[in-house]
Amino acid sequence: MKTVLITGCSSGYGLETARYFHSQGWKVIATMRTPRPELLPASERMRVLALDVTRPESIAAVLAASGPIDVLVNNAGIGLLGAFEATPIATTRELFETNTFGVMAMTQAVLPQFRARRSGVVVNVTSSATLAPMPLVAVYTASKMAIEGFTASLAHELAAFDVGVKLVEPGYGPSTRFTENGGARMQGLIPEAYAAYAQSVFALFAQPSAVTKETDVAEAVWRAANDSSTQLRFPAGADAVALAKAAG
């Protein structure tokens, strides 16, 4: 029986991905800042552990409790929507601590066991914002673009040890982390000078379109985790697939 460790499972993509892997017969270690085991199936194949990816001691404790794992899914992330001019550098650092350095720290922590066994897969969840420029998400996009480059390079580096490294790029969906965990950090990030422009952007976002569902992302993560080819990118959702094709 294979084991997957997934970060950011309290809602959205992470929660659905944990449910999906469990439904496929895997042992699942679902992590979140504040454990809520009631969200997931009660099963001997499901463990819910507390994890803060910005704290080394938290990462070490989770990996010690988890034992050997076969797949790491770096899904935990923070969303941000606002004008870059109005975004405090402290907020930018906060995003990078979770979206970028948290992913790197988790990955670095599991690599010794993957390399020693010459097996294992790291799946990093980014965003379709990396596939085409989008307004008012400059900081968020930067934090995810960093992981795109990191993942592409690492895939080459670890191929020599038979360790897979993959990207899942979810498209736009109303239930994404922007609305789930943007929270108070978004307050004041649309100053008056940007108000009219922001309204036009929000109107475009509100247009009926192919919305990415949580199941789209869970299925893409599953495909990535089980892929033995050299394919790096797995867009998730019709809009992400279209953007990926347009990007070539």
- How many C-beta neighbours within 10 Å does residue 182 have? 18
Judge contact between 156 and 144, C-beta under 8 A.
no
Q: What pLDDT, on a 0 to 100 scale, did the predictor assign at position 207?
A: 66
Judge contact between 39 and 65, C-beta under 8 A.
no
- Crossing angle, helix 56-66 and helix 103-117, to 10 degrees? 30
Local confidence band at 208 (pLDDT 50, 70, 90 cut-offs): low
Residue 140 known to be catalytic: yes
- Our count of domains for the chain comes to 1
Question: Among the options 140, 172, 194, 197, which is catalytic?
Answer: 140
Local confidence band at 237 (pLDDT 50, 70, 90 cut-offs): confident
Q: Give mean pLDDT, residues 39-61.
A: 97
Q: Give mean pLDDT, residues 17-28.
A: 98
Residues 83-131 pLDDT 10s: 999 999 999 999 999 999 999 999 999 999 999 999 999 999 999 999 9
Least confident stretch, 9-18, 170-179, 184-193: 170-179
Residues 46-57 as b or e (16 or more Cβ within 10 Å = b): bbbbebbbbeee
- Crossing angle, helix 138-159 and helix 103-117, to 10 degrees? 10
Which tops the pLDDT comparison, 209 or 131? 131
Q: Give mean pLDDT, residues 134-148.
A: 96
Long-range contacts of 228-232 (CB under 8 A, 24+ apart): 228/164, 230/155, 230/159, 231/166, 232/151, 232/152, 232/155, 232/165, 232/166, 232/167
Q: What pLDDT, on a 0 to 100 scale, did the predictor assign at position 70?
A: 98
Share of the chain above pLDDT 70, in %: 92
Find the CATH number of the domain harbouring 180: 3.40.50.720
Provide the whole-model pTM: 0.94
Residues 146-187 pLDDT 10s: 999 999 999 999 999 999 999 999 998 754 445 455 556 667
Q: What is the mean pLDDT of the chain?
A: 92
| C-alpha span between 148 and 102 (Å, rounded) | 14
Task: Give the structural domain span for 164.
Answer: 3-247
Share of the chain above pLDDT 90, in %: 82
The sign of the torsion formed by the CA atoms of 208, 199, 213, 153 equals positive
